[in-house]
Chain A
Amino acid sequence: MNSVALITGGGNGIGRAVAHRLAAAGMTVVIADYDHAAAQQVRQEIIDSGGNADALSINVSVAREVKALVTDIAQRLGRVDVLANIAGGSAYTKRIEELTWAQWKEVMDANLKGTFLMCREVAPIMQRQKSGRIINTASNYGVTGSALRTPYAAAKAGIITFTKSLALELAPDNVLANTVAPGPTDTPRVMEKESAESRQQRWWPQIPLGRTGLPRDLAEMYFFLTTPESAAMTGQTFHVNGGVVMP
């Protein structure tokens, strides 16, 4: 039986690269994304490459949607071996006095609450299986902070400690929970806002490895965290950032 991997935010950027990597490793990949057209496209790419994939629409910050999604997957596929929570992002760059309560809530919900809701639904399935890998997504900003991104940094820091607590809860059932913390990564969403030249000038001199990250750099770490080689690692935070932050 194929392993089943559920990837939120799998339609774009890092999530898309992770979906391709896990599918290439032989997993059945469920791409869950707010952007349904993007999820469908990734599904088709994977199927065209000979893999198994499904695409579903989800707003991870809405509890009933999350519950319905996970119930549907459990009924149709029978198991969930990997949950990669990649949906999220930083919609605003604003000074704190300019941020509305609604904007604060939006960022916290998309990142932190979405991670909680997905884990709450998937963890019992993995506990029954006595195996599972949960991989949450933080950011180097969750460790360093970032001016003009207070809710994003807070949400990502929250994900790191949420994941440690979850790891302790699920460890007795051999369910592992870890966090991947990307540094500056060239995703389509980021590249829409800033030219490649501007990113090179701004970031490359600060990064010991001399370049910004690519989604595939991150995908390798997510994949590693699904393999037997990482079976003794839980509650940890894995920074993949070219050395821009070394906590």
Chain B
Amino acid sequence: MPYGPHTAADRERMLAALGLTSVDDLFADIPEALRAGRLGLPEPEPELELAGRLQGLAARNRTDLASFLGAGVYRHWSPAAVDQILLRGEWYTAYTPYQPEVSQGTLQSIYEYESLLAELVDLDVVSASHYDGAAATAEAALMTCRATRRERVLVSAAVHPHYRQTLATYFGGGLELQTIPLVADGEAAGTTDLAALARMLGDGQPVAGVVAAQPNFLGLLEPMAEIGQIAHDAGALFVSVIEPVSLAVLAPPGAYGADIAAGEGQPLGIPPQYGGPYLGILASTEGLVRQIPGRLVGMTTDVRGQRAYVMTLRAREQDIRRDKAASNICTNQALLALAASVYLATIGPHGLRDVAAQGAARAARLEAALAAVGVPRVHPGAYLNEFAVRVPDARAVHRRLIERGVLAGLALADALPEEPSLADALLVCATEVTTDDEIARFAAGLAAELAVHDHLPPAAVAAEASR
């Protein structure tokens, strides 16, 4: 066994102390009929060979493409310090800080995370417990139901489809979830339909919460203050789904009256790694502190009068309150919260602003380059660093561009099949790591594909598309 310390003599000594001759005696309580045979798994693999196998698998993934794919997960430069701190065993091989006297490092780092995020979202209470943006959004929606004792939540169709699907799963127990449609055309196309929202609030069961995203899934900026006002007028709470880097330049949830902020913390120094582990951001006003699920760390003092940190308001949690707990959450996503904190501390407030603004600048350049080859934006509204473009036969073009070394964002036909107006659209993004060369490759690739498209008869295009 690769990491076991026991010699044959050690095992014999332990067995002798127990008065036994075989370890099998310790498993005698498993009923004979239910005992397992052997494990049908490969033999142990020495580290050298296993490393080779892993390198081989990693090499089968193509990460050499010029990528314009965002849609909730974003490529960013993470300062080298971030991962080096994360690799210290004192952080990553510790557990939940149940014993505060020997966990002040983790506890202070979580308190600092809570404080940093509180600044960013402009709300007072931040929980570091959540898995990802989708699960945090689901917990936020459940909070609105507990706080208002109502059972109906409205979510904008421009919230990330995975988040909406997760909400639907979490709400399957009897709570009601409805989707607010998007404005179909005009200046506000692609954003939440405020008139429809007002109608839905006035109709049917009272609404606990309204959920909208800024920027929304299509990259567009929503009228958050108006959405919040309409929600509050109906006695509902307002949940804002945010992207943390954007908050360096966009109005924070606290400034436009959101009661709860949820979102994906991945852009803060966490690699994409095909889906996780990520960091669910969940924050609320002080008034909702007893409704927020997950671990909270507070500052207090010790018996010697020194400043110290401890997990607090513990009686809300599953290990104490059991079936009456606010949530079953047990995780505190401490290592990812640490990544986000080290990222924010290293990059600083000006650096974060630069990341957000640089992304906006690169995206504007991308927009111009694509427009120049005849690929226009779908929506007229303002965006930060992500937007949808109209491309004939978008799905097929997207597939063929991979062969040209370009990952052309996301085919919206796959992500939002319920929006036929987006069947021929790609969702593309740029960040501070997007280069001029990558933009040029994308534009040239598109130009070439569209030229092919224009010169082939429709049947051939269809054949090409289904290839």
Do A and B truly interact? Answer: no
